[in-house]
Structure 1
Amino acid sequence: LMAPLGLKTADLPRQAPQAHVGEAVGVFCVWHAGPDELLLGQRDRHLDFCLWLGVRAGRLHLYTGVRPHHLGGWLYLALVWPFHWLIVRRSLARMAAHCSEAAC
């Protein structure tokens, strides 16, 4: 879905990667890695995107943030926004299935 629009995509790694600030995890750069949270991001010509994953009270929480750079970024955001929850839920389901297979 993302590649035809010029945004980066990646497959899930075979095993859970170690998160080190400044390194890449998939298409995202690790901006912060703490014991119970991870802040990932990607700066693209269309928009900047950040993803926060955190564990609180035994539950995984996810927050996303987007900053469009120009009209193209806003148009992309307008196209994706109605499907955002579906994309996030599918991504989390893929991560959960992958982690159960790889024993993350």
Structure 2
Amino acid sequence: MKVREVHPSANSVRLLAGAQFADAFSLEVGGRALDARKAAEKIFARSPAWIDALLRLRNLIVTPLGLKTSAASETTPREMIGMFPVLSETPDRLVAGFDDKHLDFRVVVDVATLGHGQDVTATTLVKTHNLLGRAYLAIILPFHRLIVPVMMRQVASQGLP
């Protein structure tokens, strides 16, 4: 199963008006057993040690800047997928993300029937607010392009998260 970069759909891009960054990765899987929640759970269920190490380093660096970390608690509890609050959900689409002082972030997981299988697409949207947001995006972008395909491959795994 090969993860491929695709153009983000206009329908997804509308979910974060004014986003300066959008990308999407897609994967075809056999069968029709996934809805958007199950696909998102598989994507974010676990990550390789090197990704966890990068996330810990990121949290150490951004904490003094007052940015949200994966360990940050929400003032009101929300349903989470991985470390992201779920913002909306249908059987075909799950939108998760948050707004922070430096940028707003969304991850959109779409599932569509494709012949005898399904096409799962993860779209990332980012809207920066200031110089810190633009600098942060520039720094994490190379890592993002490595991490998303690795996480997407978990959708093809047979086990549940």
TM-score (norm 1): 0.70
What is the CA–CA distance in structure 2 between the aligned matches of 1:92 and 1:9, rounded to whole Å? 20
| C-alpha contact (below 8 Å) 1:54/1:61 kept by paired residues | yes
User: Aligned equivalents of 1:24 and 1:53: distance in 2?
Assistant: 14
Structure with max Cα Rg: 2
Question: 1:50 — aligned with what?
Answer: 106
**For residue 73 of structure 1, what is the aligned residue in structure 2?**
133
Counting aligned pairs with the same residue, the percent is 34
Q: CA RMSD in A?
A: 2.3
- The answer on 1:8 being equivalent to 2:69 is yes
> What do residues 31-50 of structure 1 show as CA deviations (whole Å, max 9, x unaligned)?
11101110111112221100
8 Å Cα contact 1:37-1:55 kept in structure 2: yes
Aligned twin of 2:158: 100
User: 1:100 is aligned with what amino acid?
Assistant: Q
Instruction: Give the drift of 1:24.
Output: 2.5
Which residue of 2 is the match for residue 85 of structure 1?
A: 145
- In structure 2, the residue matched to 1:14 is none
Q: Give secondary structure in 2 for the equivalent of 1:100.
A: coil
Q: How far apart are the structure 2 equivalents of 1:92 and 1:5?
A: 26
Structure 2 CA distance for aligned equivalents of residues 70 and 100 of structure 1 = 42
Q: How many residue pairs align between the two structures?
A: 90
- Measure the CA separation in 2 of the matches of 1:35 and 1:83: 29
Contact kept? 1:27, 1:42, Cα under 8 Å: no
**C-alpha distance in 1 between matches for 2:148 and 2:61:** 18
Determine the C-alpha separation between the residues in 2 that align with 1:9 and 1:89.
20
Q: Alpha-carbon deviation of 1:68? A: 1.3
